[in-house]
Structure 1
């Protein structure tokens, strides 16, 4: 029996019309002789009644990463499973709604970001053999005591890939409200193009550097087990090509596959006349992640997310560290496994942005080059780079 796992994000389950599309997708798969397991997220986005961000605001923030919070925010996905299952039932399709734990996902007890212990697909396999469609709550599992745990941001993508691996699925289909993975954010770059095929490495980097179509943890798992992923527009199943993610070379004409961006960064400069190593330890112990790190003789330069500003200022002042910072920065990254070892890429970036776009900092790896620019020129910089590399 061929199996596929289909994951539907919050914007894909949020209206009766979209739920009709899910029914059509299940029927089409069945007509092709394929059994389906559905993984669903909570309905809607922040501000809507059942969205995760809305639910977590119902109790005080100091209960974050607690058993209370996991019990609360898991409800959004559970509601979605029941809504989708009954919708399928009304169309004559036998369906059953399941929590992550009921679907066989066992985790440790790290509330808010639980680690997977094992996945037992026995019950799901039985349901599929009975001709039923399991609808699984994404983003969650259960610990050895049977208590609900959540998997952290992007957890529904991770749930889908885990179940795909366990069930030896042909592939995992990630349904969303865009046509697939694009060469840049189409809301920012109007002529961004669909990438029809991209390798795991490139899409992992894209996800790490700001693209929000799929979570990097899910990509990493798929890469480890070589299970193909497909990103598809919910409303265009069977019509749209979507994006296939596998271990083949990325389908791009040039060296660069895509341009990604992340708003909300702050650049910090610290004097190195003081206890650098201790300060970095303090930042780590306070869950402040740093990036684009450059260490010089007299200073250390790095960036953080702007949400950590007040916390970091407090640490620096308590430890009498001289510092400066630049607010309102954006990190822009070009991504492509083909740029490895190719000279002249940075020169092309500099030439593309010469004029009034200041580059505050750079960093690179074998497959990425990142620049930091003021946010007020970031949109123009992304468009210039997208055009310069003929994406």
Structure 2
């Protein structure tokens, strides 16, 4: 399909009519560029919002139902999102249609709660695109060859979007989230975090695998297969990160690119410092050795350093390394 662009909208982009109006403007601009569009959506909001996946799961007891049924209720949030956005776009003159993962032809492995995409039957989507429709696909889900609904791992709507982009040879995948791209650290912890403008697939994958929460690692792998350019954007501003074959982040030996955090358990977090040849950064070693941050465990690798700390020490650690080394 020529001029095909895939757009993925996270749940925070669908909360209010004001948010959906921003999406409408994005789609209108893409139509002006004569792009065919395929849209993937996540469930609306977070825990506490009525249709988020975590809120829906509060209504069940895992011990009383099968994993197939857990997958069924978990898939509802994305289906609701697809219908709501379809309705809104049709109200404003677009030809949109909501599809479940199954209707979109996404075929997965047999694991109900942690499946992976093994094939896509693209006939229905191709037919809809040829008729001028904008298919709006429920992310995070597919079905087995026997027809059971399955879920991809958490963050799986990114994977849905990237797999569809790869399968249909899309020109680009735009992922809209609540932060302006992949950043030097978590902006919810440090306001001084900066957007990384351009990353190659390998560096982006390293960040995603080390606790970066902006994009699912499997989505990067899918995009890399067919060289699909990924742009991570926000509806709240103009800054963005481009992921592709090349990067403008040409790291020198010892240089740090970003710092990520990841929960270990209820009281500990892992802080990962990512860069190039970090064994050559003697100043970094000195900071780790001489600043009191209650480090419980330390692991050095060529291109990253992993620190495990109590959660109440993480903010101090992030500020120290981010402000002095990025």
Partner of 1:153: 154
Q: Is the 8 A contact 1:103 1:123 kept in 2?
A: yes
Report SS of the residue matched to 2:322.
helix
Please tell me whether residue 350 in structure 1 is matched to residue 289 in structure 2: no
Report SS of the residue matched to 1:235.
coil
Report SS of the residue matched to 1:26.
helix
Matches within 5 A, 1:160-179: 160-179=161-180
Report SS of the residue matched to 1:351.
helix
Question: So what's the TM-score if we normalise by structure 2?
Answer: 0.93
Partner of 1:285: none
Q: 2:242 aligns with which of 244, 260, 264?
A: 244
CA deviation digits over 1:178-230, x for unaligned, max 9?
A: 11111111121221111110122222222222221111121222223321111
The alpha-carbon deviation at position 65 of structure 1 amounts to: 6.8
Where does structure 1 lack aligned partners over 5 or more consecutive residues? 266-304, 307-327
Q: Structure 2: how far apart are the matches of 1:370 and 1:231?
A: 26
Matches within 5 A, 1:281-320: 305-306=265-266
Q: Is the 8 A contact 1:64 1:112 kept in 2?
A: no
Partner of 1:98: 99
CA deviation digits over 1:340-378, x for unaligned, max 9?
A: 3x6433x32232242322332222333221122232221
The alpha-carbon deviation at position 4 of structure 1 amounts to: 0.8
Where does structure 2 lack aligned partners over 5 or more consecutive residues? none
Partner of 1:214: 215
The alpha-carbon deviation at position 250 of structure 1 amounts to: 4.6
- Aligned CA RMSD, in angstroms, stands at 1.8
Matched pairs, number = 322
Partner of 1:14: 15
Q: Structure 2: how far apart are the matches of 1:115 and 1:376?
A: 36
Q: Structure 1: how far apart are the matches of 2:90 and 2:279?
A: 58
Q: Structure 1: how far apart are the matches of 2:191 and 2:208?
A: 20
Q: Structure 2: how far apart are the matches of 1:364 and 1:100?
A: 41
Q: Is the 8 A contact 2:39 2:136 kept in 1?
A: yes
Q: Is the 8 A contact 1:230 1:242 kept in 2?
A: yes
Partner of 1:310: none
Structure 1 range deviating more: 193-202 or 4-13:
193-202
The alpha-carbon deviation at position 15 of structure 1 amounts to: 0.9
The alpha-carbon deviation at position 75 of structure 1 amounts to: 0.8
**Structure 1 residue runs of 4 or more that deviate by more than 6 Å after TM superposition:** none
Report SS of the residue matched to 1:157.
helix
Q: Is the 8 A contact 1:250 1:257 kept in 2?
A: no
Q: Structure 2: how far apart are the matches of 1:40 and 1:213?
A: 15
Q: Structure 2: how far apart are the matches of 1:343 and 1:362?
A: 13
Q: Structure 1: how far apart are the matches of 2:318 and 2:239?
A: 25
Question: So what's the TM-score if we normalise by structure 1?
Answer: 0.78
- Structure 2 CA distance for partners of 1:235 and 1:249, relative to 1, 3 Å: closer
The alpha-carbon deviation at position 232 of structure 1 amounts to: 0.3
Report SS of the residue matched to 2:220.
helix
Structure 1 range deviating more: 199-208 or 6-15:
199-208
Q: Is the 8 A contact 2:41 2:137 kept in 1?
A: yes
Partner of 2:304: 368
The alpha-carbon deviation at position 63 of structure 1 amounts to: 5.5
Partner of 1:257: 257
Report SS of the residue matched to 1:350.
helix
Matches within 5 A, 1:13-52: 13-52=14-53
